[in-house]
Structure 1
Amino acid sequence: MDSVLPKMEDNRSEKSQTHSSSDVENQGSPPEAKLQRKLSSRHLQFVAIGGTVGTGIFIASGKSIATAGPAGALLAYVFIGTLVYAVMQALAEMSTYLPVSGAFTQYASRFVDPSLGFAMGWIYWFSWSITYALELSAAGLIIQWWDSSLNIAIFISIFWIPITLVNLLPVDVFGEFEFWFASLKVMALVGFMIFSICINAGAGDQGYIGFKYWDNPGAFAPYLTDGPKAKFVSFWSVLVAAAFSFQGSELVAVGAGESTNPRVTMPKAIRRTFWSIFLVFVFTIFFIGIVIPYDNEALLIGETNASSSPLVIAAQLAGVKVLPHIINAVLLTAVLSAASSAVYSGSRILVGLSEQQCGPRFLQTTSKRGVPYISVSVTAAIGALGYLNCSEDGSEAFNWLLNITSVAGLIAWCCIFICYLAFTKALRAQNIDRDNLPYRAWGGDWFAWYGLIFCVIITFTQGFTAFVPWNTEDFFIAYVSLILFAVLYVGHKAFDRSGFINAVDADIASGRYHEELAETWEESPRSMWKKVIKKVF
């Protein structure tokens, strides 16, 4: 629900209410923090899509079908979708009222506990910087599908340079590149859905399929045990995989500090991002489940190229020969788009950490065009860890680093809910009516509690396979993120000795955005593209 925010008296900070700047009020921030508001709602939306829609849906979705069956996997993705919707609603309310760089990492420090903001911010930054290294390595593996003799180190180097350079361009130029890059992935998945409808209706070698694979081998697949319990275990296992696939949806809020008129762009971008990702994921899982039987062995190959993609397997079962090459090319654009989003998100998280005194001050330094080039460079440098994948010993170390990223998104979701609950408590304590906010989240506190409870349960049970039977190595692989998060939190608490934020004292004033002094229009893709060409050339 969008509404106009009237001028309100704030007993805590009259100065923050009467500021004359058209940008965010950066009270206490150094003068070098000059991120510019140039991202439109479609830019924010596709930055999040770029970071979310990747190998998880193009490749790992096949394993989800094989583990839980078509109905089990579909239910798991729909259920996780409700948790993501709760996350996005909470972010929409907070980021439209306080559109600051780093978004939820700053909210944690300001509403809950500085130690929580420190631990959450640094593990979240590290997860996206390591994701950058992962995507660069995946790009090399995808190209090896065409020529296995090529070393992936070549392509890590080739792709690292242009992706890093794109992130050093003005943010509106970067947003335009990401818009077109991420659009290819969405169009490819929509094309697959149309293809699946045709195949299911009888256009392929299998003839008319309908829902026969839901009857034989079945709608649910057993996992680890027998009987009805096996179906629940398989569903819960895919629930974890689905949560990993949806991670990145929250990135739409990371760009709040660079959005044009956030009261208009942020709610629109967050709504569009959720429904775009949710519908693409759910319909893709549904169509995979009706054209491929869950006991197809090719679903469990485990490669990072087209040979493991359920989209390719569906085409092969239908007798279509050329599609694998097209899908592999789309996979390449998918991982490169995700790599670009990872650098952007990581760099803005660093800026937010620096503004909260949780990182070096120089990380806020920007160019004349508002690009935080030091934070971009630091984040991009971590991409060099992708070279570890070029040797057997190095790949094992890289996989351990990669395990840190797996649960970081779930930790971030839990912290977002905690921030939202603290935010609404602070509003009540400071006599600010939620009806007067630019955006009011559907469900309010009870929906946030719903999301928090289930996210905590999933976070602590995502490594349950390490217990049946017990495996020490698998246990640490599954829970290394939680261990690192706890170490960061306790370490900061012991060093800084900061206390929890009292609701009455929570800073919900600095960072407010003044809509009356902002531009309220957004450029069309055509006019924006002309500006991109002019700036680049």
Structure 2
Amino acid sequence: MGADSLPQGDKAKPVSTTPAEMGAFNASASTSREDLEAGNAELHRGLSSFHLQFIAIGGTIGTGLFLGSGEALASAGPVGTLLAFIFIGSIVYSVMSALGEMATYMPVAGSFTAYASRFLDSSLGFSMGWIYWFSWSITFALELVAAGLIIQFWNADLSVGIFIAVFWVVFTALNFMPIRWFGEFEMWFSSIKVVTIVGFIIFAICIDAGAGKNGYLGFSAWVEPGPFAEYMVEGSVGKFVGFWSVLVTAGFSFQGAELVGVGAGEVENPEKNVPSAIRWTFWGIYALFVATIFFIGVLVPYNTEDLLLGSTDAAASPLVIAANLAGVPVLPHIINAVLLTAVLSAANSNVYSGSRILVALAKEKHAPEVLTYTNKHGVPYAAVATTSAIGLLAFLNLSASGEKVFGWLLNITAIAGFISWSCILICHLRFQKILAHRGISRKTDLVYAARFQPYLTWFGLFFCILIILTNGFTVFMEWDVSDFFAAYISLILFVVLFMGHKLLVDRKWSLIKIDDVQLIRDHAGEKN
């Protein structure tokens, strides 16, 4: 990030200390490099730094910010919600710092799944990779449902199933495009929502200053009904409960920033472009999120009737509500149209990220080898098809309990994201230990060296684990079996995957010895 050390000059290159590593780095000298992947698979380095940034932005800015923030505002109030997003942003900063250091040194496809298997334990890489893939494939289904609900804003009589089917076909097809074409499409698609958020911020400033029908607003919504909402219980405890309950929503909203690491294996000149993408992605997403949440809290009182707790209808989006409250009749339709493009862009990134994680799993022998096979354009078609197929779970929303299904999916994917972040941070602690053991200086020998280490990584890891363990605390206040499983099913699945692989496949209960760790990168062709 801005505070990270970026040494100048050609000497700031990854240093290898074993013959195997030296051979790998010598191979990188060629401008036309081939992947060291399973089978005959070959991913292409067809992405630029801008492509990588916008894929991450596309995967991050979606349902959580535009729809989930309404429920968050009703639960915690404007200041409680703002603090929750700022706090989660600090955790994301620690994750991005850790990932940036590892992904620049070892830019491999699917990055952190490979790091877990190579630095720590094969079973950890297996369980981490599959839970992360599960998260993104389910998120794809979630975004398809959200797209249908957004369209119902204009015509409630239209079936959500129609749009789930149409968009599923469209985004499956887009992910079969050559990676450079995909990157260009995602860049322009994601630009729409960036422009929209900036436009909303300008709109919010004008309305707050008195341009709307209600005149000057200032911070009136922070005074009445107040800065914090009481959730489930009264008093200060209720306000804290509201704040803590919103952390999961905020985590879901930020999930996707780490996609910069997933795409590191397909970016041109990773030593230069990955650090740049890491910096711009985090600070760009963080600024947009915090500014949006701040102005939503200024314009929309948390007790507004349209903020229906648990609703997934686009009419409950705080951006649309803000426009309605300001008395601008056409603006909600414009915002709703942009919400649609935002959600669809996120869905597009979901298939990409999920498919690349499958490639990484297959390369580490954690999935069938066929998932690594690519066509002549470098597209892992089997992995794309498998990930996309999970999106068909979106049709569950057509059942009578569709709204509950939506809530389940959101909770499941959010906690899976925290689990993945925890594993990334654990890998980074191990990575630092490996470098120190081999006499590699992080400050002088790495292209990208994050500051505040290892303290920043420990900070992020502590709170990720704390949120994972306490995210369902409201269930114990008002017991509900369904909500309990929604809160902890990802953690249960992760433990089952880890223990299953450890007992049936790995059968080794010790970490990989530091001397046996191979810091070898995968190398992909520069062009597709």
Gaps in structure 1 of 5+ consecutive residues: 520-534
| Equivalent residues in 2 for 1:509-528, closer than 5 Å | 510-511=520-521
| Equivalent residues in 2 for 1:31-430, closer than 5 Å | 31-300=39-308, 302-392=310-400, 403-430=411-438
Q: Is the 8 A contact 2:70 2:317 kept in 1?
A: yes
Task: Establish whether residue 10 from structure 1 lines up as the match of residue 14 from structure 2.
Answer: no
Report the Cα distance in structure 1 between the residues aligned to 2:334 and 2:253, rounded to whole angstroms: 22
> Hey, what does 2:469 align to over in structure 1?
460
Q: Is the 8 A contact 2:252 2:413 kept in 1?
A: no
Gaps in structure 2 of 5+ consecutive residues: none
Report the Cα distance in structure 2 between the residues aligned to 1:48 and 1:10, rounded to whole angstroms: 33
Q: Is the 8 A contact 2:35 2:522 kept in 1?
A: no
Q: Is the 8 A contact 2:62 2:342 kept in 1?
A: yes
Report the Cα distance in structure 1 between the residues aligned to 2:44 and 2:428, rounded to whole angstroms: 26
Shift of the alpha carbon at 1:400? 5.1
Q: Which runs of 4+ in 1 moved over 4 A?
A: 6-9, 23-27, 393-403
Shift of the alpha carbon at 1:425? 0.7
Change in 2 beyond 3 A, CA 1:207/1:185: same
Change in 2 beyond 3 A, CA 1:394/1:472: closer
Change in 2 beyond 3 A, CA 1:452/1:115: same
Q: Give 3-state SS (helix, strand or coil) of 1:370's partner.
A: coil
The normalised TM-score by structure 1 is: 0.92
Deviations 1:227-252 (A, max 9, x none): 32222222212222211211111111
Change in 2 beyond 3 A, CA 1:394/1:140: closer
Shift of the alpha carbon at 1:403? 4.5
Change in 2 beyond 3 A, CA 1:212/1:147: closer
Report the Cα distance in structure 1 between the residues aligned to 2:383 and 2:523, rounded to whole angstroms: 24
Report the Cα distance in structure 1 between the residues aligned to 2:187 and 2:436, rounded to whole angstroms: 39
Letter in 2 for 1:473: S
Deviations 1:271-294 (A, max 9, x none): 111011101110011111111212
Q: Is the 8 A contact 1:178 1:337 kept in 2?
A: yes
Q: Is the 8 A contact 1:418 1:452 kept in 2?
A: yes
Deviations 1:169-208 (A, max 9, x none): 1101001110111111111111111111111111111111
Task: Establish whether residue 471 from structure 1 lines up as the match of residue 475 from structure 2.
Answer: no
Shift of the alpha carbon at 1:398? 7.4
Report the Cα distance in structure 2 between the residues aligned to 1:176 and 1:135, rounded to whole angstroms: 21
Q: Is the 8 A contact 2:428 2:457 kept in 1?
A: yes
> Hey, what does 2:511 align to over in structure 1?
500
> Hey, what does 2:446 align to over in structure 1?
437
Report the Cα distance in structure 2 between the residues aligned to 1:84 and 1:130, rounded to whole angstroms: 21
Residues 163-172 or 11-20, more deviating: 11-20
Deviations 1:376-396 (A, max 9, x none): 111111122222222337886
Deviations 1:418-455 (A, max 9, x none): 00001111111122121201100121211100100011
Q: Give 3-state SS (helix, strand or coil) of 2:145's partner.
A: helix
Q: Is the 8 A contact 2:265 2:522 kept in 1?
A: no
Letter in 2 for 1:404: I
Root-mean-square deviation over aligned CA pairs: 2.1
Residues 149-158 or 324-333, more deviating: 149-158
Report the Cα distance in structure 1 between the residues aligned to 2:402 and 2:81, rounded to whole angstroms: 34
Letter in 2 for 1:511: R
Residues 302-311 or 399-408, more deviating: 399-408
The normalised TM-score by structure 2 is: 0.93
Q: Is the 8 A contact 2:44 2:377 kept in 1?
A: yes
Deviations 1:70-100 (A, max 9, x none): 1111111111111101110111100011000
Report the Cα distance in structure 1 between the residues aligned to 2:16 and 2:474, rounded to whole angstroms: 54
Report the Cα distance in structure 2 between the residues aligned to 1:307 and 1:210, rounded to whole angstroms: 24
Q: Is the 8 A contact 1:305 1:331 kept in 2?
A: no
Q: Give 3-state SS (helix, strand or coil) of 2:454's partner.
A: helix
Report the Cα distance in structure 1 between the residues aligned to 2:309 and 2:94, rounded to whole angstroms: 34
Matched residue count: 516
Q: Give 3-state SS (helix, strand or coil) of 2:515's partner.
A: coil
> Hey, what does 1:483 align to over in structure 2?
492
> Hey, what does 1:529 align to over in structure 2?
none
Shift of the alpha carbon at 1:305? 3.7
Report the Cα distance in structure 1 between the residues aligned to 2:335 and 2:14, rounded to whole angstroms: 53
Q: Give 3-state SS (helix, strand or coil) of 1:36's partner.
A: coil
Deviations 1:467-493 (A, max 9, x none): 103333321221011000000000000
Letter in 1 for 2:282: F
> Hey, what does 1:528 align to over in structure 2?
none
Report the Cα distance in structure 1 between the residues aligned to 2:247 and 2:398, rounded to whole angstroms: 32
Report the Cα distance in structure 1 between the residues aligned to 2:363 and 2:192, rounded to whole angstroms: 35
Q: Is the 8 A contact 1:388 1:395 kept in 2?
A: no
Letter in 2 for 1:150: L
Letter in 2 for 1:151: S
Residues 387-396 or 447-456, more deviating: 387-396
